[in-house]
């Protein structure tokens, strides 16, 4: 490996992917997101810059452990029982695989995320 194998995780870098709404159990009107994915040769793993506008998606079983670092904006994670935590720019958090809940983008948001395959915690 050389320096040319090092990848930047940022808007406009990597491969732009718009996950289809069918990836989610429910999607609020106007939901939009774009992932700028790095090339990663680990089955089920992702590393990307992400941007989204206000809206919500329901994910009844988070498909991987997701480490998030918010660069801009504000989001809330809500569990199936209504428990909720909000995060803003400069904060980091991990959503465990198997988590049952909602992702709410409260403000236009940018994040870096790493998805690590694994069973429910």
Q: What integer pLDDT is reported at residue 118 of this predicted model? A: 85
- The domain locations on the chain are 3-116
Give the list of residues 6+ apart from residue 24 with CB closer than 8 angstroms, or none: 57, 58, 59
Domain spanning 3-116, CATH architecture: Sandwich (2.60)
The pTM is what? 0.91
Tens digit of each residue's pLDDT (9 = 90 or more) over 3-12: 999 999 999 9
The confidence score (pLDDT) of residue 65 equals 97
pLDDT tens-place string over residues 67-100: 999 999 999 999 999 999 999 999 999 999 999 9
């Amino acid at each position: 490996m050389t320096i040319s194998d090092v990848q930047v995780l940022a808007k406009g870098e990597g491969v732009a992917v718009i996950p289809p709404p069918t990836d989610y159990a429910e999607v609020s009107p106007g939901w939009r997101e774009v992932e700028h994915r790095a090339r990663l040769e680990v089955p089920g793993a992702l590393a990307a810059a992400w941007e989204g506008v206000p809206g919500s998606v329901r994910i009844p079983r988070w498909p991987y452990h997701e480490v998030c670092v918010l660069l801009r904006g504000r989001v809330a994670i809500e569990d199936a029982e209504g428990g909720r935590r909000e995060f803003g720019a400069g904060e980091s958090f991990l959503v465990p695989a198997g988590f049952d809940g909602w992702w709410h983008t409260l403000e236009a948001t940018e994040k870096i995320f790493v998805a690590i395959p694994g069973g429910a915690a």
